[in-house]
């Protein structure tokens, strides 16, 4: 047993670092009323309509980002794997570029290029949202790229495509009904990361939309004005993120099981 | 091969090639429009003055106490949290791989690490305010035990506080990066060194660490980049007043402090240069590290 002393110590240290702030935030969120534990802070959070609206906004943006990334990346990567292997390093490099541009710098560049004439995209709501979506796609690009790439590597793409073609399927059918279902688990992985990124993303939303439209800027604003509500929101957002992680993991496992079944 | 056949073959391939290549066009267009163009625009503008003339003056202007302080602080925080995060992450990764803890612990730690490395930004800042802020739970607890953190020079809204908060998302990332590398250490290597008479310390000193070194360095470099580009956590914690490069650029965007847009372009360019070196180094080290991982 003594041989395992150090590993246990390091793991305990890590777990303590991980859970202590979460535990403290939870306790703190219950102390809105002096002397007793109560859920008053949570009531106040839900009473503010901007909480729900900003969360819904960010959720929709996250789902849209995931969808657009898949539409952009799955065909591109499939073609690269099948026909254009020589172009792969270029696209691979492009997918790494977002790591090189910090989000503050990215939004700075966006405002400089797109927010002034001749483009002036940010003059309309739709233009601003479109630009924000593009920014989110850039931020999640490396993760989506990696997970789709891993998915495509893991399947026998050429055989699947040739088999579908010989059965008379067109490319749309091949993508939607053959390739996508086969890489779904791998793509879920990147989708989860993307979801977490977009929900928690402050910088782009803060400088493109101002304070209270998206979730994270709304949180930051609440944090400046209140004491207990931020803690309550932190607990809630952690629960929500964790819940979504669990759902996605559950979905992922299930599909893995069904895929592995027939083999 | 008959000339006619070769002709048709050539024709078919050419058309197919054009069609196939076009399918990559949307991605490249997206990349150019939303990654290359914005970054390139900042890069070009950093070499021009307000009148649109080419100049290096913006970079000369960076020789200003406030700018230097901002860069120094960003570098200091990134390097410190990369080192602390790497050590802690390495120890935890060691514990769940080579350390021989139960399988369940390993799975749990990897899940936590996945969540925690994503639990950054505004909620993380709030969590630490509730924990170690002036009225935080742990602060109050320690005060009851007779340790008054804030009277002893600790301040969550300062350098020390930021380091503590950053390490929260740094060390789980290191766990995630180092676990596959430590898994790659093969039993045979340990057995071979034992047969040759090496003890545990010698095995780590002469076999395991040299093999792991590229992966460890790659992890540290990644953590450095992770912290260097970070903005939201410090913004939520200090309201964007803390002097760091990201904050100075953000303040320029909100339209105060510098009143010198060209200088902000130079600052942004400086960040891109540092991040490019960082990610380049990481990629090289990672490639070196993977040499031992391949079957």
pLDDT in tens, B63-83: 888 889 999 999 999 999 999
What local confidence, expressed as pLDDT, does residue B1 receive? 46
What's the CA gap between A99 and A108, in Å, rounded?
Answer: 16
What's the CA gap between B217 and B220, in Å, rounded?
Answer: 5
Q: Degrees (nearest 5) of the Cα angle B245, B247, B249?
A: 70
Whether pLDDT at B195 is above 90: yes
Report the candidate in B227, B119, B46 with the shortest Cα–Cα distance to residue A108. B46
What local confidence, expressed as pLDDT, does residue B14 receive? 66
CB distance from B56 to chain A under 8 Å?
no
Owner of token pair 């267009």:
B29
Report the candidate in B165, B238, B230, B170 with the shortest Cα–Cα distance to residue A25. B165
Compute the nearest-CA separation of A8 from chain B (Å).
Answer: 7
What local confidence, expressed as pLDDT, does residue A3 receive? 67
What local confidence, expressed as pLDDT, does residue A84 receive? 83
Contact B279, A99 (CB under 8 A): yes
Compute the nearest-CA separation of A263 from chain B (Å).
Answer: 24
Instruction: Tell me which residue range forms the domain holding A115.
Output: 48-260
Give me the residues paired with residue B48 across strands.
B54
With respect to residue A1, please indicate whether it lies within any of the assigned structural domains.
no
Contacts 24+ apart (CB under 8 A), B22-27: B23/A75, B23/A76, B23/A79, B24/A76, B24/A79, B24/A80, B24/A84, B24/A87, B24/A91, B26/A72, B26/A76, B27/A72, B27/A73, B27/A76, B27/A91, B27/A94
Owner of token pair 């539409």:
A71
Indicate yes or no: CB of B109 within 8 angstroms of CB of A14.
yes
Beta-carbon contacts of residue B66 (< 8 Å; ≥ 6 apart): B243, B248
What local confidence, expressed as pLDDT, does residue A222 receive? 87
Compute the nearest-CA separation of A165 from chain B (Å).
Answer: 16
Read off φ and ψ for residue B54, nearest 5 degrees.
-70, 135
The percent helix, strand, coil of chain B (3-state, each to 5) is 80, 0, 20
Cα–Cα distance list, B149 to B131, B139, B156 (Å)? 12, 7, 10
Say how many C-beta atoms besides its own lie within 10 A of residue B270's C-beta.
20
The two structure tokens encoding residue B56: 């290096």
Q: Report DSSP state, residue B208.
A: I
Owner of token pair 């009473």:
A47
Give me the residues paired with residue A65 across strands.
none
What local confidence, expressed as pLDDT, does residue A256 receive? 31
Say how many C-beta atoms besides its own lie within 10 A of residue A233's C-beta.
28
Cα B67 to chain centroid, rounded: 22
Say how many C-beta atoms besides its own lie within 10 A of residue A205's C-beta.
27
What local confidence, expressed as pLDDT, does residue A184 receive? 86
What local confidence, expressed as pLDDT, does residue B78 receive? 95
Report the candidate in B132, B160, B180, B138 with the shortest Cα–Cα distance to residue B292. B180
Of A6, A197, A203, nearest to B231 by CB-CB distance is: A203
Beta-carbon contacts of residue B277 (< 8 Å; ≥ 6 apart): none
Nearest chain B residue to A226 by CA: give it: B126
Report the candidate in A83, A151, A175, A147 with the shortest Cα–Cα distance to residue B22. A83
CB distance from B45 to chain A under 8 Å?
yes
Indicate the pLDDT class of residue B42, thresholds 50, 70 and 90: very high
What's the CA gap between B202 and B188, in Å, rounded?
Answer: 15
Whether pLDDT at B191 is above 60: yes
Indicate yes or no: CB of A24 within 8 angstroms of CB of B136.
yes
> In this structure, what CATH number is given to the domain that contains residue A250?
1.10.3720.10
Burial class (CB in 10 A: 0-12, 13-18, 19+), B148: exposed
Indicate yes or no: CB of B35 within 8 angstroms of CB of A94.
yes
pLDDT lower than 70: segments of chain A: 1-3, 241, 244-263
What's the CA gap between B22 and B16, in Å, rounded?
Answer: 10
Of B21, B95, B101, nearest to A84 by CB-CB distance is: B21
What local confidence, expressed as pLDDT, does residue A248 receive? 58
Nearest chain A residue to B232 by CA: give it: A202
Mean pLDDT of B233-257: 82
What share of chain A in percent tops pLDDT 90?
Answer: 35
Greater pLDDT, A34 or B160: B160
- In chain B, residues with a C-beta closer than 8 Å to the C-beta of A87 are 21, 24
H or E element in which residue B27 lies: helix B25-31
CB distance from B157 to chain A under 8 Å?
no
In chain A, the number of structural domains is 1
Indicate the pLDDT class of residue B100, thresholds 50, 70 and 90: confident
What local confidence, expressed as pLDDT, does residue A65 receive? 96
Indicate yes or no: CB of A14 within 8 angstroms of CB of B125.
no
What local confidence, expressed as pLDDT, does residue A258 receive? 26
Mean pLDDT of B171-190: 88
Burial class (CB in 10 A: 0-12, 13-18, 19+), A258: exposed
Contact A176, A207 (CB under 8 A): no
Which candidate in B41, B121, B126 is best for mutational testing of the A interface (most A CBs within 10 A)? Answer: B126
The two structure tokens encoding residue A58: 């960010």
What would the CATH number be for the domain defined by B57-120+170-293?
A: 1.10.3720.10
Read off φ and ψ for residue B48, nearest 5 degrees.
-125, 155
| Greatest mean pLDDT among B72-81, B132-141, B253-262 | B72-81
ipTM of the prediction:
0.85
Mean pLDDT of B95-121: 81
Per-residue pLDDT tens over the stretch A155-190 = 899 999 999 999 998 889 999 999 999 898 888 878
CB distance from B246 to chain A under 8 Å?
yes
With respect to residue A97, please indicate whether it lies within any of the assigned structural domains.
yes
- In chain B, residues with a C-beta closer than 8 Å to the C-beta of A102 are 228-231, 246, 271, 275
Give the number of beta-carbon pairs within 8 Å between A and B: 247
Whether pLDDT at B5 is above 60: no
């Amino acid at each position: 047993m003594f041989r395992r002393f150090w590993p246990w110590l390091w793991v305990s240290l890590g777990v303590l670092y991980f859970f202590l702030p979460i535990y403290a935030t939870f306790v703190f969120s219950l102390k809105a009323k002096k002397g007793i534990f109560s859920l008053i802070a949570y009531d106040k959070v839900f009473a503010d309509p901007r909480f729900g609206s900003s969360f819904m906004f960010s959720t929709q943006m996250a789902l849209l980002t995931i969808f657009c990334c898949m539409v952009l990346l799955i065909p591109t990567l499939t073609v690269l794997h099948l026909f254009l292997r020589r172009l792969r390093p270029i696209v691979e490099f492009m997918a790494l570029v977002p790591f090189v541009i910090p989000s503050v710098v990215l939004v700075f560049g966006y405002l400089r290029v797109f927010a002034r004439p001749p483009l002036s995209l940010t003059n309309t709501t739709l233009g601003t949202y479109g630009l924000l979506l593009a920014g989110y796609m850039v931020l999640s690009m490396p993760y989506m790229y990696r997970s789709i790439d891993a998915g495509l590597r893991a399947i026998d793409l050429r055989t699947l495509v040739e088999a579908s073609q010989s059965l008379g399927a067109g490319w749309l059918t091949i993508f939607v009904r053959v390739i996508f279902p086969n890489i779904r688990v791998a793509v879920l992985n990147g989708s989860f990361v993307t979801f977490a990124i977009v929900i928690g993303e402050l910088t782009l939303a803060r400088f493109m939309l101002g304070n209270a439209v998206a979730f994270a800027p709304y949180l930051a604003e609440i944090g400046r004005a209140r004491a207990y509500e931020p803690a309550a929101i932190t607990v809630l957002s952690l629960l929500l993120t964790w819940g979504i992680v669990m759902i996605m993991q559950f979905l992922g496992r299930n599909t893995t099981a069904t895929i592995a079944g027939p083999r | 091969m008959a000339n006619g056949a070769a002709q048709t073959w050539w024709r078919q391939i050419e058309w197919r090639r054009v069609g196939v290549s076009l399918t990559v066009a949307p991605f490249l267009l997206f990349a150019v429009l939303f990654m290359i163009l914005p970054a390139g625009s900042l890069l070009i503008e950093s070499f021009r003055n307000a009148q649109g003339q080419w100049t290096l003056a913006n970079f000369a202007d960076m020789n200003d106490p406030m700018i230097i302080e901002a860069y120094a602080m960003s570098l200091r925080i990134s390097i410190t949290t990369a080192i602390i995060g790497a050590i802690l992450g390495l120890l935890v990764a060691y514990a769940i791989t080579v350390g021989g803890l139960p399988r369940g612990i390993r799975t749990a730690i990897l899940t936590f690490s996945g969540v925690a490395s994503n639990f950054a930004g505004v909620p993380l800042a709030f969590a630490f305010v509730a924990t170690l802020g002036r009225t935080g739970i742990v602060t109050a607890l320690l005060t009851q035990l007779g340790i008054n953190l804030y009277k002893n020079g600790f301040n969550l809204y300062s350098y020390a506080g930021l380091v503590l908060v950053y390490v929260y998302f740094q060390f789980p990332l290191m766990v995630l990066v180092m676990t596959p590398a430590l898994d790659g250490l093969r039993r045979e290597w340990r057995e071979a060194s034992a047969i040759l008479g090496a003890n545990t310390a010698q095995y780590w000193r002469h076999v395991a660490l040299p093999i792991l070194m590229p992966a460890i360095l790659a992890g540290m470099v990644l953590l450095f980049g992770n912290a260097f580009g970070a903005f939201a956590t410090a913004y939520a914690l200090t309201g964007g007043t803390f002097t760091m490069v990201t904050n100075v650029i953000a303040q320029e965007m909100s339209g105060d402090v510098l009143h010198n847009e060209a200088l902000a372009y130079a600052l942004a360019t400086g960040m891109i240069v540092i991040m490019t070196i960082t990610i380049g180094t990481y990629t090289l080290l990672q490639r070196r590290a993977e040499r031992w991982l391949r079957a």
